[in-house]
Amino acid sequence: MSFSNLGLSDKVLAAVAATGYTTPTPIQEKAIPHVLARRDVLGIAQTGTGKTAAFVLPMLTLLEKGRARARMPRTLILEPTRELAAQVKENFDKYGAGQKLNVALLIGGVSFGDQDVKLMRGVDVLIATPGRLLDHTERGGLLLTGVELLVIDEADRMLDMGFIPDIERICKLVPFTRQTLFFTATMPSEIRRITETFLHNPEKVEVSKPASTAVTVTQSQVSVGREPHEKREVLRQLLREAKDLKNAIIFCNRKREVALLHRSLQKHGFGAAALHGDMDQSARMTALDQFRKGELPLLVASDVAARGLDIPEVSHVFNFDVPHHPDDYVHRIGRTGRAGRLGTAISIVSPSDQKSLLAIEKLIGQPIARTETNHIVSAEASPVPASDGEKASGDRKPRRERSRGGRNKSPRPEGSQRPEAVAAPQQPPSIGRVRPAAASREQFSEPGDHSHLPAFLLRPIRARG
């Protein structure tokens, strides 16, 4: 089947042809006719199946008739993150180039004044994150009573981010007679409840079972020890040895870990960008642009990058941290193997991750293959045999031996630094922290053999007075 059989307008078909697409994906083929028929749609599809175009293309056809009014958008699209909202706007700009539609973006990190100006001009398509949208409605600068079509995208991500109460508030502000399109990759019980409440006799479009992974992605796991530096060392080795690695997204569970790993990779000569929720909007967009354009081949990210970001040619995904929620694993590895391409997903698994890994394997219905790596331990990872008076960089900092009154202090270890600052390939094994020489017992002892006594009992006593 071709796009011309779906009922799209000539302008939209021309825009699709200009992009080079000729055949719709399964989610597009099934959803577009129902959207054009003004039916509510419940779309269940794994990431990377083209579901954004499944609602953008029919919306462009429907919006050819009608006119927007000030502060009253005709259609509303809700996205969980700023990046996804900006990506949907890019789709409207690409496919709606031949139409004079006003498309506005309401996201955080942008001034309210600039957004108010766009709303005053009248908006055909309003793309927003829930928080910023409610801010505008509470300020009186936005009315949702003219919304004809509501799209709730990445609904399961909305649930994870705690946006469901906001979604319920927004659904009560739009007309009861609106058309609703609801897209999700998984169907937890809370999402099912929302669909039963706000969708009216929807057409269910399912192109893959919930929580399934793409067959184009080769999945594997690598076991490591408990120490963070071991995971970093194994990751660097995997990056160096990976076959056909064009670029990669490396996922961490915490924002702090994203920042630490980003600095570590840069220190070891890897070109990497960072992306997490605490970054301001301009920095986030810059990081994404650098990664998309290939200026930096690695993107270290939190789960803010796990849902819906359309970067078609990501060759590898690394789970530096195994996700706590099994659904997040499905979305993370969905960043690779998109649009029929082959992809590779590798998880670095420590002993504390075993419970989460079992939950993931249960959810996806298959075991994740174990692979072995010829892990070469560097000076960062573990100690090497040290000669007298030397200590490898991976050991703990030696405790100072102090005498009363502050005398006879052992020297401060030379070259001591945090383990991450030591780059093993550039440093000889003996460079690191130096163990202070042990104080001679004879220095403190009386004549005679007192070797059975501990050294602190043999130190001289200073009389007061």
Residues 229-273 pLDDT 10s = 899 999 999 999 998 899 999 999 998 999 999 999 999 999 999
| Burial call 347-378: b when 16+ CB within 10 Å, e when fewer | bbbbeebeebbebbbebbeeebeeeeeebeeb
pLDDT digits (tens, 9 = 90+) for 17-34: 998 888 998 999 999 999
- Please tell me the least confidently modeled range out of 287-301, 344-358, 392-406: 392-406
Q: Judge whether residue 151 has pLDDT over 80.
A: yes
Total count of residues recorded for the chain: 465
Tell me the C-alpha distance between 270 and 217, whole Å.
24
Tokens linked to 115: 């957004």
Task: Give the confidence band of 450 by pLDDT, cuts at 50, 70, 90.
Answer: low
Q: Look at residue 405 in the predicted model and tell me its pLDDT.
A: 43
296 or 279, greater pLDDT: 296
pLDDT digits (tens, 9 = 90+) for 412-434: 444 444 444 334 344 333 323 33
Q: Look at residue 352 in the predicted model and tell me its pLDDT.
A: 92
Tell me the C-alpha distance between 322 and 299, whole Å.
17
- In three-state secondary structure terms, 106 is strand
Among candidate residues 247, 279, 275, the one with its CA nearest the CA of residue 262: 275
Tokens linked to 242: 């990976």
pLDDT digits (tens, 9 = 90+) for 281-306: 788 888 988 998 899 999 999 887 76
Q: Look at residue 414 in the predicted model and tell me its pLDDT.
A: 43
Write the CA distances from 218 to 23, 214, 221, 280, 318, integer angstroms. Answer: 26, 9, 10, 34, 12
- In three-state secondary structure terms, 203 is strand
Q: Look at residue 400 in the predicted model and tell me its pLDDT.
A: 41
Other beta carbons less than 10 A from residue 404's beta carbon? 11
Q: Judge whether residue 406 has pLDDT over 80.
A: no
C-alpha torsion sign, points 355, 357, 363, 369: negative
Among candidate residues 207, 26, 64, the one with its CA nearest the CA of residue 6: 26
Tell me the C-alpha distance between 418 and 380, whole Å.
9
| Burial call 268-279: b when 16+ CB within 10 Å, e when fewer | bebebbbbbeeb
Mean pLDDT of the chain: 81
Task: Give the confidence band of 132 by pLDDT, cuts at 50, 70, 90.
Answer: very high
Average pLDDT over residues 211-231: 87
How open is the CA angle 361-366-367, to the nearest 5 degrees?
Answer: 65
Could you give the domains of the chain? 3-206 (3.40.50.300), 217-370 (3.40.50.300), 391-465 (no CATH)
Q: Look at residue 276 in the predicted model and tell me its pLDDT.
A: 86
- Please tell me the least confidently modeled range out of 85-94, 250-259, 348-357, 399-408: 399-408
pLDDT digits (tens, 9 = 90+) for 133-145: 999 999 999 999 9
Q: Is the pTM of this model over 0.95?
A: no
- In three-state secondary structure terms, 75 is strand
Among candidate residues 282, 325, 319, 322, the one with its CA nearest the CA of residue 301: 319
3-state SS of 361-406 is HHHHCCCCEECCCCCCCCCCCCCCCCCCCCCCCCCCCCCCCCCHHH
Task: Give the confidence band of 228 by pLDDT, cuts at 50, 70, 90.
Answer: confident
Q: Look at residue 370 in the predicted model and tell me its pLDDT.
A: 92
Q: What are phi and psi of 201, to 5 degrees?
A: 45, 60
Tell me the C-alpha distance between 358 and 104, whole Å.
43
